A = this chain, B = another copy of it.
């Protein structure tokens, strides 16, 4: 039975440390979490923890890289081959919102919150991985606009509007709120990329994406308690 019997393999143990540390840092913040606490949560002493990592900053860097891996696996890789740019953006928004709302991978939340904690090369490296996502979105917005599928918009503004809507969710979403994460995803997708209903309104045939008029008065009620939190 060679190397079978669930001996928490080297890399396995390291990943477990990253996940435990990520849970704590996500709750208390990077500066607000001590190595003592992280070690205890890993059922180790501090010196034992330092056997696996180099220092606190490198631990954060490893967590963020792990988070970017998870993001690329669960979002980017699943949508990057969608041919239609608007469908690509729709699917991407959906996956990204659900990545933030579902609790798996606190690492992603840390990437979002601790955007200015790392410095120097580590900071530059993570920023570069983020930038690839921005480029991907800008490219999609650019294509969609060029094909007349959305209103003409600066791709950068489109990309960062998309990101703001999607990523800000981590600041206010509560799983037991009035809206489920599915409803939020559907609602935001529908708000930014409304379905095409009418064909061309004037003489142009190929250009068809216009936001359709609402059925007169339809909004639910007034604001009311949202079940969510603060901005």
Q: Which residues of A contact B (CB under 8 A)?
A: 29-32, 113, 115-117, 126-127, 130-131, 133-135, 138-139, 142, 145-148, 150-161, 163-169, 171-172, 178-179, 183-184, 187-188, 190-192, 194, 198, 200-202, 204, 206-224, 226-231
Contacts and interface: CB of A to CB of B under 8 A. Distances in A.
A223 B135 CA distance: 6
A120 to B, nearest CB: 15
Contacts of A147: 217
Copies of this chain held together in the complex: 2
A206 B130 CA distance: 44
A60 B184 CA distance: 32
Nearest to A168: B164
Given A152-B218, A155-B219, A217-B146, A231 B133 contact: yes
Given A223-B142, A230-B134, A231-B134, A161 B179 contact: no
Contacts of A130: 230-231
Given A29-B117, A178-B156, A214-B151, A134 B226 contact: yes
Contact of A169 (B113, B160, B200): B160
Given A142-B219, A148-B217, 15 more contacts: A127-B229, A142-B220, A151-B212, A152-B218, A153-B190, A154-B183, A154-B187, A157-B187, A160-B228, A161-B165, A161-B191, A164-B164, A198-B201, A201-B213, A204-B213
